[in-house]
Amino acid sequence: MLRSALLAAIPLACALSSPVSSAAGGSPLEDEIRSLAAARLARHESPSLSVALVSDGRITVAAAGYADPEAGIPATPETLYHAASLSKLITATLVARQLERGRLELDAPANRYLASERWIRDRSGAPVAATIRQLLTHTAGLPVRGIRDDPTTLPDYLVGRLRTVRPAGQKIVYSNQGYALLGYLAAVADGQTFAEHARTVLFEPLGMNDSSFRPPREFESRLPIGYGRLFGALGGRVGRRGPSPLVPAGGLITTAGDLARFSLLFLRGGEFEGQRILRRESVAEMLRIHARLHPALDEGYGLGFMVREREGQLLAWHDGGIPGASARLALDPHLGVAAVALSNSNAAEAPTGFVADALELIGRSEAEPAREPTEPANSAPASVAYRLVDVLSDDEWYLNLFFNLEVDADGDTPVLRRFPVLSPLEMKPLGPDRFLVRGWLIDGAVAHIEGDRLYVGIIEARRVAFWESARAFLAYGAVLLLAALAFLIVRWRRRARR
């Protein structure tokens, strides 16, 4: 029933606003946005999308689908969404402002600004000199750590919990803990809580009146019903989220329109409606690559943003995803365009695909890396399984068994397979062991194979034997399940004969 509702005629609600002009009314761009949103919802079977485009200083906002499909409640431009890890862009901006004011130093150890009980330490307990820059670029060595419901306050959470899993500066390890610490440092420098600091420094000056880091329960009536996806299929309803101390890393509740206003800050070099929020130099620093996983890759982390620098073009973006929500914000500061998409499903393909479509619609066509002339047009690699490295915390090691990628061929076409039941991603050969990946969160990224390692975007994976692959573990599980079922049937028959 839900699938039918999502694929049927989807009600659309649109509004047009502009910080530059008060012009209102329909436009060809609105019509195109409606078509793109509806197409992505149908294609990816997501309940709703709330989207915004920025072009020529104007913001166009639209909503498509259902905030509550079962009740038939449509999403509107005023519907609030969990923005998940887009929160990190807000946190990075607050830190950049404190860097400008001299309250923080980019290459100073974060421990300089902390009481000893909150110091970053290694596993042995020794202090680690991880810097503010390393925290911003996910190279401080702190682990991933999921954002779970927890009533602990942010200051209390940081006591004794910051333990590195890799040496600081060694490599990119995506860390929610690192951004929780950054939010704390930015706010405490002004003697505020993080939620207060974000409101007074950014939300109020930018007119982001529907944005907050307050607990989700305070917005119950305006938040859509979240839906989870499992193995590529639309799943059931996801329960309402509770409070979490990691709000600087993933606690933002907002609208696509508010995030579009935030985007304008970076498209205008740190100025918004005549008010200087950030220096132009700070914006430039945030939008350039400071750390990348491998020198052969053309993308990596800026200060907060993920950044791709290719053929004279620059794309800055971030994704967000939690059970029941997914999001993407992307901007091109050279062209002055941006796109935002928020969804109440953790099917990331819907917001990611919409943003790509929308940026192309408003004039941004991304350049592809040059192909090495010696590489055959249809170079299909041998099938190789890889296991992702540093994606989950050490205490969740058992889940790593299923975090696999597989370089394979579909006929003569190279593909990148994810979990065995998910659709493969196209890989366009660029040269020996180099490919351009199409689809999912890594759409447009270059995949580089070196030895037993696969690098793509901010993902590193290690080659494993087939018997260690996700396919093999699924087969083991199926065999064990069948064996257990056969054992139970035999026992039941024996008892029935007695």
Q: Is the pLDDT of residue 234 over 60?
A: no
Q: Is the pLDDT of residue 14 over 50?
A: no
Largest CA distance in the chain: 88
In a domain, 270, yes or no: yes
Q: Phi, psi (5° rounding) for residue 453?
A: -115, 145
pLDDT of residue 239: 76
Residues 304, 356, single domain; the answer is yes
Whether residue 100 contacts residue 261, with contact meaning beta carbons closer than 8 Å, is answered with no
Q: Mean pLDDT throughout 250-274?
A: 97
In a domain, 455, yes or no: yes
pLDDT of residue 194: 97
Residue type, 78: E
Whether residue 460 contacts residue 388, with contact meaning beta carbons closer than 8 Å, is answered with yes
Tell me how far apart the alpha carbons of residues 103 and 95 are, in angstroms, rounded to a whole number: 9
The fraction of the chain above a pLDDT of 70, given in percent, is 89
pLDDT of residue 215: 84
Residues 238, 201, single domain; the answer is yes
Q: 396: domain CATH number?
A: 2.40.128
pTM of the model: 0.90
User: Quick one: pLDDT band at residue 477, thresholds 50, 70, 90?
Assistant: confident
Whole-number Cα distances in Å, 470 to 398, 419, 421, 451? 12, 7, 11, 21
Q: Is the pLDDT of residue 295 over 50?
A: yes
Of 344, 296, 347, 313, which is closest to residue 457 (Cα–Cα)? Answer: 296
User: Quick one: pLDDT band at residue 397, thresholds 50, 70, 90?
Assistant: low
In a domain, 478, yes or no: no
Q: What count of other Cβ atoms lies within 10 Å of the Cβ of residue 329? A: 27
User: Total domain count for the chain?
Assistant: 2
In a domain, 477, yes or no: no
93-117 per-position pLDDT tens digit: 999 999 999 999 999 999 999 999 9
In a domain, 375, yes or no: no
- 198 against 26, higher pLDDT: 198
398-417 per-position pLDDT tens digit: 666 667 888 988 777 889 98
Q: What count of other Cβ atoms lies within 10 Å of the Cβ of residue 22? A: 7
Q: Phi, psi (5° rounding) for residue 10?
A: -100, 125
Residues 78, 219, single domain; the answer is yes
Residues 314, 408, single domain; the answer is no
In a domain, 205, yes or no: yes
Tell me how far apart the alpha carbons of residues 252 and 259 are, in angstroms, rounded to a whole number: 11
Residues 275, 344, single domain; the answer is yes
Residues 119, 38, single domain; the answer is yes
Q: How many CA atoms lie within 13 A of 318 on its CB side?
A: 24
Q: 234: domain CATH number?
A: 3.40.710.10
In a domain, 483, yes or no: no
In a domain, 162, yes or no: yes
Residues 343, 396, single domain; the answer is no
What residues pair up with 59 in beta bridges, in sequence order?
17, 54
Q: Which structural domain, as residue segments, surrounds residue 276?
A: 1-367
Whether residue 354 contacts residue 49, with contact meaning beta carbons closer than 8 Å, is answered with yes
Residues 348, 396, single domain; the answer is no
Residues 330, 437, single domain; the answer is no
Residues 271, 413, single domain; the answer is no
Residues 80, 221, single domain; the answer is yes
The four Cα atoms 269, 274, 275, 279 give a dihedral, to 10 degrees, of: 20
Whether residue 90 contacts residue 63, with contact meaning beta carbons closer than 8 Å, is answered with no
Length of the chain in terms of residues written: 498
Lowest mean pLDDT among 87-96, 213-222, 308-317, 475-484: 213-222
At 196, list the tokens: 């207060």
Residues 306, 235, single domain; the answer is yes
Tell me how far apart the alpha carbons of residues 223 and 81 are, in angstroms, rounded to a whole number: 6
